[in-house]
Structure 1
């Protein structure tokens, strides 16, 4: 349960606590037995101490610089304030409506908690906290946004195909190289090639810079040659130098839609078809991209 009180000055804490204590005890029929707070001066007045002693309320102080204790209320406060700011920004409201926005955000938090508990009772599921890892994609949730990457998955691919520690390349493909279906034939392991390209195709979930190369190489999966396998291994050498790359979605960036597109106009010599691609961004991380023949 969350209660929110707005104060003009910190000195109002004692008066507000007395009102809060009276309200809660009358509504619940239970007494407040302990009060945990930080070492702020607004809690350490003699008047506050005497009141708690008379009412039989045990005082507990958090240990400074310990996130396990001191960061709980701060994180909750930050969550509520961010929700309130988002709602005000969405509706274009002024700061005069801050109090109303905070009250709505608090009630929304309560609804989320009730929904979570209801789902856990109905289905076999557990609340694991913030998302960190999902299907090979790593999520790093920091103060100014969310960063997604496939660093571990990339390292596993390089190790799987014996390219771990290889010399990195500056580009995924040789510039102006013309890969075709009918090239100099040299027997290669088709299953190895398909496995390699399949891994690259999953990697474009966060690496749009290899999307064109992976899409091009996938068109030779039925009958690959040594040239095609060499080109695929060059892509592995390219990602060797960018294993920690990913996409960051910033929290405070200005939301503005950007779109980029391009085409090679008949660049595929086997059937003279064009390869077109696009990428869409909201002013920070790219959220949609494609490369299609």
Structure 2
């Protein structure tokens, strides 16, 4: 991957990950190692968190399509070595929180994903993304579950 072409985004807009039951299997331990390394990097590169977590769902039976997505994330990281979190001094310290969720985001189990972020001034201090525990039947129900959690 050292001489690979850089990618502009961690995951393509038309990328859809599923179980890929007919795809060719890849080495589970190698795939899990790559996921572990990428999860470590999410501490400083929050922009890859969603893509890495989507790929982490398939650790028990990874296929070539999942490995291709992991390689795309690595190509993105190669092109963003100069990007990181920045906390400027002298900004106001207002704590602001945002919450959002999607409706039936996962096509496999129809569960929604909720997310939150908290800013201290203009600096990101907390971020969370989690698949909801139950299936919601409407967007209003999805939002109520997100607010409750």
Coarse TM-score class (shorter-chain normalised): 0.7 to 0.9
2:50 alignment counterpart: 212
Q: Deviations over 1:218-267 (max 9, x none)?
A: 11000000000001110101111111221122221111223233323111
Higher RCO (C-alpha 8 Å, min separation 6): 2
Alignment of 1:275 onto 2:132? no
Normalised to the residue count of structure 2, the TM-score between the two structures is 0.81
Give distance in 1, aligned partners of 2:38 and 2:66. Answer: 14
Given candidates 256, 262, 269, the residue that maps to 2:100 is 262
Paired residues, number: 131
CA contact (8 A) 1:193 1:229 kept: yes
1:119 alignment counterpart: none
Superposition pairs of residues 1-293 of structure 1, within 5 angstroms = 163-293=1-131
Give distance in 2, aligned partners of 1:258 and 1:241. Answer: 31
Give distance in 1, aligned partners of 2:21 and 2:92. Answer: 49
SS in 1 for 2:85: strand
Task: Describe the shift of the 1:166–1:182 C-alpha distance in structure 2 as closer, same or farther (beyond 3 A).
Answer: closer
1:128 alignment counterpart: none
Task: Describe the shift of the 1:231–1:256 C-alpha distance in structure 2 as closer, same or farther (beyond 3 A).
Answer: same
Answer with 1 or 2: which has the greater Rg.
1
Once the two structures are TM-superposed, the CA of residue 277 in structure 1 deviates from its matched residue by: 1.8
Q: Unpaired segments of 5 or more residues in structure 1?
A: 1-162
CA contact (8 A) 2:25 2:61 kept: no
Q: Deviations over 1:58-112 (max 9, x none)?
A: xxxxxxxxxxxxxxxxxxxxxxxxxxxxxxxxxxxxxxxxxxxxxxxxxxxxxxx
Normalised to the residue count of structure 1, the TM-score between the two structures is 0.43
